[in-house]
Amino acid sequence: MSGFWWLLRAEWTKLRSVRRWTLGLLAAVPLTLALSLLTGGGSGTDLNDHPEELGPIGPAGVPVTDNRNFVHQPMAGDGRITARVLTLTGEEGFSHEWAKTGIMLRESTEPGSRYAAMMVTPGHGVRLQADYTTDLAGSDSTGPRWLRLTRTGDTVTGYESADGVSWNRVGAVDLGDLPPTVEVGLFAASPGRLAVETSVGSSSTGSIPVRIIGTLDNVRVDSTQPQPTAQWQEDDTSKGFVQGPVGENGAANFTEADGVFTVAGSGDIGPYVPDDDVTQLSLIGVNLGLVAMVAIGVLFITSEYRRGMIRTTFAASPRRGRVLVAKATVLGVATFVVGLVASLLAFFVTQPILRSNGFGPPAYPVPSLADGPVLRAVVGAALFLTLVAVLSLGVGAILRRSGGAITAVVAAFIPLLILVGGLPLTAAQWVMRTTPAAGLSVLQTIDVDHDATAEPWSMAPPLAGLGVLAAYTAAALAVAVWLVRRRDA
Amino acid sequence: MIRAEWTKLRTVPSTAWLLVGAVAATVAASAIYADSINVSGCLSPAECPADTTKLSLGGVQFGQAVVAVLALLAVTNEYGTRMIRTTLLANPRRITVLLAKASVVTAAALIAGALGVVGSLLAGRFILDGSGYPLPSLADGPTLRAAAGSVLYLGLIALLSLGTGTIIRDTAGAVTAMMLLLYVAPFALALVSDPQLRERLHRFGPTTAGQAIQATTDLGQLPIAPWAGLGVLAGYTAAALLIGAVLFTVRDA
């Protein structure tokens, strides 16, 4: 082990004493920062000036999504609503996994008001959701299923049942200061179908509104106090203006016949998710920073070959594979430290600029390093640069020519991204999931549908993407170790 | 002198590979671009207008990397092996040496470029056949201009790269600089979301302006006119060569 320690020290001394390498390594910081600043300075949004596009403000004071069809009546005092979900059917054969229909209890019909709801979803079974962010899982049933919400003071408890006789408690939520009379009823909502259109070199993503049609029966409202009226009213905030008769009565999105209620709606009830990932935007500079990492990684080995120094190195330490591993270790640690400085600087310097260009609250919450995904993106950006540097070392050791190695590794990133922009979606996805460029996925902080985005760096899950890059790096190093042991120096 | 430079270029094994690579990269990437045309969302091609010539020549974006590496290696390799001292000893008139290198490299780039461009157009014709779009043809004025301009574009990129190589003298540094110029700069520009600022920057970028020569439709929408765009690139090339020539004459080899 002391032999390896000695090797590490020798490689560290080489890395730090060649001034050109130190400068090249440090260049990753200004390069990363420069591209992030250019992108941040050149990007803007006026979404905050158009609160109507943002959605209502929810109970926590932040924008929420509250698009659904709610068929309701008032309920005075404590009480409960019960219904059985029979079916939920998406239109044109498409059911979003988070489409939902069921029963709901709301403070009022005001968009953004407090609520609790029991629902059946096609992809996630029975759920109890409340106040746009609470989500408790019930059984895996996708219907038919009996659902019940019981109000006791400010607490609302959700139950489900297979037969309407024996009930299972799913959970309870506290809705704060509920008024004496609340609105209870049936609801339906479905997120849209995401579609990516690629044509002639450019792609765009769009959400096509989709209705979910829920049928429910055995609807009952029981209250400890006399009921004001028992007239059902429709409050439809469906998104995408999907209107049209679902039943023979010709009512917009709601019909009732022989105790069977049909409710259709589109949109979603939940947190507001910004379209742009401001953390990802502020870290985009690694695309430029990586060029410095490639140059250093390649030079760290090829310049030894060119100057014949490698013979001295191998003469001093005949176990060539270990020399390469020592080089990779030293390079990895050094580039990670520099990469972390670059990514932290890019993040903290670009964020205020993005905010002043419109990417601020309420439409875009201020990202904080205390958030798991943000921390993952910032540290991931540094790891990305590290992996690119070590990959370059491996490719440099394999090719032994700096020109070829630098071209080869750089070509695997930006020129590839440019090419991907002109590819059909499935081909682009394949490229962005199986080549080293997949590592760029680690910059994401917002959950997006990886199959339905035109952004090349969002086509793979964050950690899986970084894993692909890590696999290439490991493979390049392994081939390099094998080759240096076999070849003459 | 030109013969000497030609012999040097010809006898380095990487040259042949790079020339073949430049043609192959251009044609292959062009074919991918031409194949990406998607008419499934349109009732007829007339509804989704596409610049089939520009699309068919898209591979030039990739061939340029290989041409650039070929050109800068002609200089940096000599510095790497100290051969430059022998060259200058045999012919102390440095400007002549640089001009000879420039001629040979440009000739190689133009030949590879012409093959790549013709190959790309043929691939485009083959792929687009039956799509309903007009097939790119050299008999068409704008297409001829785009094709000839693309070959010239590659020649200018080679000279720009040669100038950069002469300035930097080191393979790794010069390759990195050219990669930044050819890819990272336009990539960074595309990330600027303010359309006015982006268009202004596009007008001054060597590659973004130079590639305007490939457009055959909607010429009014271009950030810069085709020949003016190529002129911008020529300006960068002239500047790089001039700085390179000055440094080449005043510096020790």
- Under an 8 A CB cutoff, do B179 and A291 touch? yes
Please state the domain count of chain B.
1
Q: Give the whole-angstrom CA distance, residue A410 versus residue B65.
A: 10
Yes or no: domain A56-271 corresponds to CATH 3.90.79.10: no
- Under an 8 A CB cutoff, do B194 and A44 touch? yes
**In this structure, what DSSP letter does residue B214 have?**
G
- β-pair partners for A152: A155
Ordered per-residue pLDDT tens for chain A, 489 residues: 567 888 888 888 888 888 888 888 999 999 999 888 888 887 778 888 887 777 788 888 888 888 889 999 999 889 999 999 999 988 777 888 889 999 999 999 998 999 999 999 998 999 999 999 899 999 999 879 999 999 999 999 999 999 999 999 999 999 988 999 999 999 999 888 776 665 544 556 667 788 889 999 999 999 888 777 678 888 888 765 444 444 333 346 888 888 899 998 888 898 887 778 889 989 999 988 999 999 999 999 988 887 777 778 777 777 888 889 999 999 999 999 999 999 999 999 999 999 888 888 888 888 888 888 999 999 999 999 999 999 999 999 998 888 888 888 988 888 888 878 777 777 888 889 999 999 999 999 987 778 777 788 888 999 999 999 999 999 999 999 999 888 876
Q: Give the whole-angstrom CA distance, residue A190 versus residue B144.
A: 52
Q: Residue type for B169, please? A: R
Interface test with B, best of A20, A200, A430 (most B CBs within 10 A): A200
Sign of the torsion formed by the C-alpha atoms of A381, A410, A421 and A98: negative
Backbone dihedral angles phi then psi of residue B213, each to the nearest 5 degrees: -65, -20
The residue of chain A with its CA nearest to that of B198 is A42
Backbone dihedral angles phi then psi of residue A84, each to the nearest 5 degrees: -110, 125
Residue B94, SS3 per DSSP: helix
Q: What is the pLDDT of residues A311-338, one digit of tens each?
A: 787 777 778 888 899 999 999 999 999 9
Between helix A19-42 and helix A2-17 the angle, nearest 10°, is 70
- Under an 8 A CB cutoff, do A42 and B175 touch? no
Q: What is the CA radius of gyration of chain B?
A: 19
Q: Give the whole-angstrom CA distance, residue B57 versus residue B32.
A: 10
User: What pLDDT does residue A201 have?
Assistant: 47
Measuring CA to CA, how many Å separate B123 from each of B115, B118, B170, B214?
12, 9, 37, 16
How far off is chain A from B124, nearest CA to CA, in Å?
13
- Under an 8 A CB cutoff, do A411 and B65 touch? yes
Domain that holds residue B70: 2-250
Tokens of A477: 């190093």
**Alpha helix locations (H) across A43-107?**
51-54
Tokens of B52: 């089939």
User: Taking the domains of chain A in order of start, what are their residue ranges?
Assistant: 2-45+275-486, 56-271
Q: Give the whole-angstrom CA distance, residue A136 versus residue A121.
A: 13
User: What pLDDT does residue A241 have?
Assistant: 47
- Under an 8 A CB cutoff, do A44 and B61 touch? no
Tokens of A371: 């958030």
Interface test with A, best of B70, B189, B191, B208 (most A CBs within 10 A): B191
| Token pair 């390594």: residue | A25
| Token pair 């493979």: residue | A475
- Under an 8 A CB cutoff, do A199 and B191 touch? no
The residue of chain B with its CA nearest to that of A300 is B172
The answer to whether the beta carbons of residues B56 and B128 sit under 8 Å apart is yes
Q: Give the whole-angstrom CA distance, residue B12 versus residue B78.
A: 11
Residues from chain B contacting residue A424 (CB–CB below 8 Å): 36, 38
Contacts for A250 with CB less than 8 Å, ≥ 6 apart = none
How far off is chain A from B2, nearest CA to CA, in Å?
24
The residue of chain B with its CA nearest to that of A301 is B172
Q: What is the DSSP string of B81-124?
A: TTHHHHHHHH---HHHHHHHHHHHHHHHHHHHHHHHHHHHHHHH
Q: ipTM of the assembly? A: 0.78
Strands, E, within A176-250: which ranges?
A: 181-189, 193-199, 202-208, 212-223, 233-236
Residues from chain B contacting residue A419 (CB–CB below 8 Å): 29, 32, 61-62
Tokens of B37: 């045309």
| Token pair 């990586």: residue | A290
Q: Give the whole-angstrom CA distance, residue B40 versus residue A274.
A: 30
- Under an 8 A CB cutoff, do B48 and A199 touch? yes
- Under an 8 A CB cutoff, do B38 and A424 touch? yes
Of A288, A402, A417, the CB nearest to B171: A402
Q: Give the whole-angstrom CA distance, residue A349 versus residue A281.
A: 12
